[in-house]
Structure 1
Amino acid sequence: MTTTDWGSVPTWFSAIGTTGSLLATAGIFARDRRKDQRTDAARVACWIETPSAYEVDGVSVDLETHRVLRVHNTADRPVFDLFALIGPDSTRWYRRHPLDHVVPAGEQASFLVPFEPYSSGSLPPSGPAAVEFRDVERTTWVYDLEAGTLHRRRKRRVHNWLRIQQKFVSEFGWKAFDLRFRRRVAPHKRPDWRK
């Protein structure tokens, strides 16, 4: 009968130390990468201006219902997929108003965005509240126009999936674990990207 040689205590400590140093290096690398991303995104400035003329870039403007949103990208890389978050509306939701697809590095862009000068009820007037954009590493950032702060939009796919599963189990009990029952009750629908 053969016995397995598990080594000595110093060998185990060496292995644990090597693994710990590799994990620490990976953590430092990820932290530095996030810091570089944030530094690059912080070099994108956004602000709102009231148009002083009835024409902005050759387009006639209704001064009562529009504002000019300026985006100045001083970073070394372009930003993509710009949206103005307009709101709140009567249901306290913010809607996404599409802007230009790309603002190149070192350039400034101007966009006309809708604005309501008068409030409806207890809510403030509906106007541009934030700008959402994506950097070249596909990270989504939200620039708050009122506070002048930058926020990283987190992907909460796992959290949302767990919340949906918890609701499904609380509603249907143990039957929720039967895959045939789940397919019959909640069939999977593919999203329609043309909407």
Structure 2
Amino acid sequence: MDVRGLIADDWNWFWGTWWPTIDWGNAPAWVGAFLTSGSLFLAVLILRGDRKKDRRSDADAFFTYPVGSSTLKNGVKVHSTVEVHHYNAGDRPIIGASVWQLTSKRPTKKASLVFNPRGFEEMIYPGDKGETSLNFRRPEPPEADLILVFKDGRGVEWVRHLYTNKYLGEWYFRLHYPFKKMHWEL
């Protein structure tokens, strides 16, 4: 028996005999099914977005902005300074905020935003504001590789780019530091 003949017979049976006998319903039933599925999908997306906003609300209420400057000596830039200004507009404290510099080997801690000589966890309370200066030995401030690491009032750890304020996830560090586990010493 010819294989092509068997396939052709099965194909003809499927499209000629079986397919037309199925009751597919009418157009309004199909439209209703698609609209119901779409509205359920949209509801899930909206709920997910609201949960994400609620989770980030404490972190988004912590404002930081850097101001960079360079020191001139005989008309040549010698070293640079970045002042990091911060303000907690939220209802909960920010814990252990610190600025890190990303290097080719591993991230290194540059400074804490709050100095606490007693050794307790450094907190920025609601309504607190301040500034911290970072000095660098190179002529231009390292804008691309400064990040802010902190915990919000719920204890969730956040890593945010200092200049763009974009949150960096674990994917970022797996991409740039694939063989290292990130441990932030807050």
User: Normalization by structure 1: what TM-score?
Assistant: 0.45
TM-score, with structure 2 as normaliser: 0.47
Answer with 1 or 2: which has the greater Rg: 2
